[in-house]
Amino acid sequence: MTTDAGDLLRARPAVRPDLTIGPAMIDGNRIRHHLRIGDRERLLGVGAKEWFVIARLDGSTTLAEIGAAYAAEYGRRMDEAGWRQVLRVLADNGLLAGVPEPPAGPDAPRPSRWRTLMSYRFPVTDPDRLLERLAAATPWLFARAVVLPLAVLVTASLAGVLVALPELSEALRAGWRDGPVIAAAIPLVWASVVIHEVAHGLTCKHFGGKAPEIGVMWRFPILAPYCRTEGLQFFTRPAHRVYTAFAGIFAGLVVILPFWPVWLLAEPGGRASRLAAVMLVGGTLVAVFNLVPFFRLDGYFMLTYALNIADLRSASWEYLRQRRRAWRGGGAEPYPRGLALVYGTYGVASLLFGSAVAVVTLWSWYALLRPLVGDVAAVLVPAATAVLALSVALVAGRAQRRTGAGAARGRQT
């Protein structure tokens, strides 16, 4: 069916009522909005201009009115061909009211064997409904009257660990050589990690997200619980994303608070004081480790969400590649000054941090192996291990990129 330009501009199309449009986020050097149909996991990303149009397709505003607002905002008025293209793209993606959603595409590609060796997840259950009921029953957990006193106690606990670190370290070393202490510490540590992950899911549910999966994650060389959260892209306040990322660290620090009176009241040198030292020092170190923004852990996501950036690491690497290309005389994309400063600072800092970690790790291995196998072997073993790890990482990265490129080609056809 054909319509003239006047009929088209008088049309009042609407997006489907179950379409959710997320707030603006920075993706590279552009602004992106995430779209979601219903409560499905499938997400779409659109730029600022596309969002400007989609947000106004409410069934009561004509395309002529939207076009006038678009021209005032961007200095360019869309013609009939432009509107037809926009509507066709929206219809093809099932975003318009009354238009059926397109059939689901191929399933997500399975990770390569190399990728599986380095990182894999073993789902156990879907805790979303349980966490939803728990969040509805415990809104007081997020009240200031509860959070602020706990924050004061946690801060005092961290200060206490710092002040008493020599005594705690001595008790910790003794605890590592005490079998019953280790036997008691292992389930306590795992329980605290589970609480850490549940706190992420519970906080995500409190702010309107989802927690559809909890399980055990293998990330070489660590095996630990995890909780997958969804919907953070649709939180209207970036602070709520930061709270969700920080919730695990905060819960872990709250869990070790009861061990302070144990440490203070138990007999010095006894097993109770040793266990308390293991939990206090271990819990504090886990929190500090998680806060480092150069690992893809809670601290990294807290920083990413605070800056309202979709993926800080990928964007920083891309920015550095663009700078290298420009330095070699090639074309490079422009970046706003503030964003360039953020990406450049994070990218260089992560390179320096990664290099420092590699040097310290290799030197530690050398110092550990030298008394056992001699100078030559102490150099060769860490070097061979580093080369092997780097090779595996490169192969895994290439396999993942090939898989991603194949999936992208499949989506385009």
**Quick one: average pLDDT of 371-387?**
76
The predicted structure's pLDDT at residue 117: 61
The predicted structure's pLDDT at residue 132: 94
Classify residue 58 by its DSSP letter.
Answer: B
122, 215 contact by CB (below 8 A): yes
70, 53 contact by CB (below 8 A): yes
Please report which confidence band the pLDDT of residue 402 belongs to, taking 50, 70 and 90 as the band edges. Answer: low
**Quick one: average pLDDT of 301-311?**
94
5, 17 contact by CB (below 8 A): no
Classify residue 311 by its DSSP letter.
Answer: -
**Quick one: average pLDDT of 224-234?**
90
- Residue 84 corresponds to which tokens in the numbers above? 């037809």
Classify residue 24 by its DSSP letter.
Answer: P
Q: State the burial class of residue 388 (Cβ atoms within 10 Å of its Cβ: 0-12, 13-18, 19+).
A: exposed
Model confidence over 171-215: pLDDT tens digits? Answer: 999 988 889 999 999 999 989 999 999 999 999 999 999 999 999
Is the pLDDT at 219 greater than 80, yes or no? no
Question: What structural domains and CATH numbers belong to the chain?
Answer: 5-92 (3.90.930), 113-308 (no CATH), 321-403 (no CATH)
How far is Cα 17 from Cα 11, in angstroms, rounded to an integer?
Answer: 18
Query: Which DSSP string corresponds to 198-214?
Result: HHHHHHHHHTT-EEEEE
The predicted structure's pLDDT at residue 357: 86
Higher pLDDT, 134 or 362: 134
Please report which confidence band the pLDDT of residue 224 belongs to, taking 50, 70 and 90 as the band edges. Answer: confident
**β-pairing verdict for 222-230 and 210-219:** antiparallel
Is the pLDDT at 60 greater than 60, yes or no? yes
Model confidence over 39-57: pLDDT tens digits? Answer: 765 678 888 888 999 999 9
Model confidence over 238-253: pLDDT tens digits? Answer: 999 999 999 999 999 9
